[in-house]
Amino acid sequence: MRELIVNLGERSYPICIGSELLSSGKIFSDLIKSSQIMIVTNTTVAALYLERLTGSLGKFNPVSVVIPDGEAYKTLETMNNIITNLLDNRFSRDCCLIALGGGVVGDITGFAAACYQRGVSFIQIPTTLLAQVDASVGGKTGVNHPLGKNMIGAFHQPAGVVIDISVLDTLSDREMSAGLAEIIKYGLIRDEEFFAWLEKNIGALLERDRNCLIHAVERSCRNKAEVVSMDEREGGIRAILNLGHTFGHAIETKLNYKKWLHGEAVATGMLMAAELSCRMNWLDKETVQRIKLLLEKANLPVKLPASLNGDGLMDTMVIDKKSRQGRMRLVLLKGIGEACVTADYDHDALQKVLDTFPRESDSH
């Protein structure tokens, strides 16, 4: 097992990475400081891993809440169901929630933990590649609103993150690719050497080579942990972690959180950000092509759905958490491994990217 620390003073916590960790009772004994435990998972993950985790937590006798699977259920209504279960079971302020699932489960569980009795402990056990390298680390929690993704939420750091690489064996190929989008992001924003490694090893990652996966997950988590340690609440540099997300969240919102996975939308969004950076003469065309090629090799979309028009995307992008004093800020690239957050972009160039970016059919 490998262990990283997210260094946040008294809120610091470990990220444990390895194989078969779901069966390790000792890890959970070290992390859990309560006798009241609630596992939150979804219908898909429950059938695969709930029994195994419950067995590892045998002495705690945990309660389980199973929510529907999908981004469409990342709502206040679903979170309220978790809160109701906590109250029905008379959970006190020293209880602990465990999020067993992908980013949706992690975000909702974390938000419930942040709100219940003004904040209780929770642990992340991410079961998708995307959640392992992104959503489970950093303390961002929340739910969606019909007008915008993740618009309701709170910063609430977990007590620990347990990443079991072996659960990826049951992940679909499409979900694997979606997770690779966030891994590629770390190379683009601050780790050029890692980006070059990904270009050479993307095939092995798609084939689920265990050693390559552990390296990619650890490197990604290390990059995120370092950024979060410098800027916990996204007042400055942490915003670079949102490369492609302003575009991607607009795509997801316009598609009503259906059809595309989060990582797929982020992949296209990162390429759109690269294209805008190129139009502003920050990137050359060869670099944009290099980014596009890696995304294609990862089986990620590099075209927008045909149904999305530029004006509609722009209207949705304006409602963004990175906006300051009414001005939309974007994460752009000055090179591979060098990202920046700026409101000083070429607005005409942005509109051209939104209007002329290649489209594909709606089916995906």
State the distance between the two ends of the chain, measured CA to CA, in whole angstroms.
37
CA pseudo-torsion sign 187, 154, 106, 230: positive
pLDDT tens column, 276-322:
999 999 999 999 999 999 999 999 999 999 999 999 999 999 876 56
pLDDT tens column, 31-89:
998 999 999 999 999 999 999 999 999 888 999 999 999 999 999 999 999 999 999 99
Query: Which of 26, 90, 118, 258 does the annotation list as catalytic?
Result: 118
Place of tokens 């929510």: 67
> Which CA distances in Å does 106 have to 103, 110, 227?
5, 6, 20
CA distance 244 to 122: 28
Beta strands of 177-328 (E only): which ranges? 304-305
Question: Does the annotation count 245 as an active-site position?
Answer: yes
Query: Which of 215, 224, 254, 321 does the annotation list as catalytic?
Result: 224
Query: Which of 156, 215, 249, 254 does the annotation list as catalytic?
Result: 249
pLDDT of residue 327 exceeding 90, the answer is no
CA angle, 340 as apex, 338 and 341 as ends, to 5°? Answer: 160
Query: Which of 71, 175, 234, 252 does the annotation list as catalytic?
Result: 234
Question: Does the annotation count 242 as an active-site position?
Answer: yes
pLDDT tens column, 263-286:
999 999 999 999 999 999 999 999
pLDDT tens column, 193-203:
999 999 999 99
CA distance 233 to 156: 10
CA distance 133 to 225: 10
Query: Which of 190, 245, 254, 321 does the annotation list as catalytic?
Result: 245
CA distance 124 to 342: 32
Q: Which of helix, strand or coil describes residue 8?
A: coil
Query: Which of 140, 149, 215, 222 does the annotation list as catalytic?
Result: 140
Go through the domains of the chain in sequence order and give each one's CATH number.
Answer: 2-170 (3.40.50.1970), 185-360 (1.20.1090.10)
Question: Does the annotation count 279 as an active-site position?
Answer: no
Closest of 157, 168, 179, 191 to residue 17, by C-alpha: 168
CA distance 304 to 307: 8
Question: Does the annotation count 359 as an active-site position?
Answer: no
Show Cβ contacts of residue 287 under 8 Å, excluding neighbours closer than 6 positions.
274, 278, 333, 335, 336
pLDDT tens column, 75-124:
999 999 999 999 999 999 999 999 999 999 999 999 999 999 999 999 99
Closest of 249, 229, 248, 247 to residue 238, by C-alpha: 229
Query: Which of 71, 144, 156, 182 does the annotation list as catalytic?
Result: 182
Closest of 266, 333, 334 to residue 302, by C-alpha: 266
Question: Does the annotation count 156 as an active-site position?
Answer: no
Q: Is 18 exposed, middle or buried (0-12, 13-18, 19+ CB in 10 A)?
A: middle
pTM: 0.93
Question: Does the annotation count 118 as an active-site position?
Answer: yes
- pLDDT at residue 148, as a whole number: 85
Closest of 67, 72, 154 to residue 107, by C-alpha: 154
CA distance 318 to 166: 40
